[in-house]
A = this chain, B = another copy of it.
Amino acid sequence: MKIGILGTGSVGRTLAARLAELGHDVVIGTRDVAATEAKTEQPFPAPLRTAPEAAAHAELVINATGGQVSVAALQGAGAENLAGKVLIDISNPLDFSQGFPPRLAVCNDDSIGEQIQRAFPDALVVKTLNTVTADVMAHPAKVGDGDHTVFVSGNDPDAKGTVSQLLREFGWRDIVDVGDITTARGVEMMLPLWVRLMGAIGTQQFNYKLVR
C-alpha cells in the first residue's frame, strides 16, 4: 500500500521502517526536506518528501506529529491530499510546557482525534496506537509475546477495517473497536497514567491487555 507518514520523530521513523520492511511503499513527509535532512544524523528509513507530496503519494496517511501541532501539520499537507483517504492519527496532546508530569492540552470534552476529523471532514480518521511507545506500536510481540490490546476509534467501519489489517501485519492480535471518533477522548486520556507508570516500573516497553 502507498503510505505517507507525516512526522520525522521516533514514531514516524519507527513506523516507516516497519511498513517498508512489510513491503509497503512508504514516504515520510516533512515541512522542509532540506532542513530536516540537515539536522538529522541517521538516514531515514524511507524517502523524505514535502508534506503535500507525501500525502498526495499516499492511499493511507499516518499522522505521527505531536498532538499540539497536528492540525497545522495536516493543513500543511493539504486537505485535498487527505480527502477520501484513511488517516491514522497516533498523536497525543502531551504538554510539557509546565514541566513533569505533562498535562493534556486537550481532554475530557474533546480530543486531537476529533479536532482532526472536524478540520478534515472528508478524511477517514482512525485513532489508534497512541497508547504505546513507538517500538511497541511497530513490534507488539516485543512485549508479552504480543498478548495485549490496541484500540481503534473512528466513524467509518471500512476505514477501521483497513487499519486493523495493517495492525495485524505489525503483529497485533487483540484489536478492540471502541466506537466512533469521540472515543479518542478515552484513549488519549490513558496517557497521564502511562507517563507515571513508565516512571513507576522503569520502562516504556509495556501495554495493557484487556481481560474480559
Contact = CB atoms under 8 A, between A and B. Distances in A.
A135 interface: no
A208 B197 CA distance: 14
B196 A178 contact: yes
A194 B207 CA distance: 16
A199 B179 contact: yes
Contact of A186 (B176, B193, B206): B193
Interface residues of A, number: 41
A149 B124 CA distance: 34
A177 interface: yes
A190 interface: yes
A49 interface: no
A22 to B, nearest CB: 23
B183 A193 contact: yes
A187 B147 CA distance: 22
Chain A contact residues: helix, strand, loop or mixed: mixed
Contacts of A210: 197, 201, 206, 208
A211 B206 contact: yes
Q: Which of A147, A189, A211, A212 counts the most B-chain CB atoms under 10 A from its CB? A: A211
A203 to B, nearest CB: 6
A159 to B, nearest CB: 17
A119 interface: no
A160 to B, nearest CB: 12
A207 B149 CA distance: 12
Contacts of A42: none
Given A192-B189, A193-B190, A200-B177, A208 B211 contact: yes
